[in-house]
Amino acid sequence: MRADKLTIGKSYRHKDNKSYGWAKVIKILKPKECENTQGYIIVKCEWSVDKDSSFGMIKYFRPSNLVEV
């Protein structure tokens, strides 16, 4: 999925794990921006097992790894 199509606060699935886990978008980071030391756009997500979970791990993904379900 393209970075401009992602919505902050919405939950997506990872393209390799479409039946497990949810990635709720927290922030979209441009290349070389504060937390992002990579040369490409990354998405800061809260990764949890349930879609409406109250907690989760913070993970970073490329926008192309997230898919809408």
**pLDDT one-digit tens code per residue, 1-23:** 899 999 999 999 999 988 889 99
- What the block records as the tokens of 50 is 């349930």
pLDDT above 90: residue 48: yes
CB 66 within 8 A of CB 23: yes
Give the model's pLDDT for residue 61. Answer: 95
Report pLDDT for 10.
94
pTM of this prediction?
0.86
**27 with 43: CB under 8 angstroms?**
yes
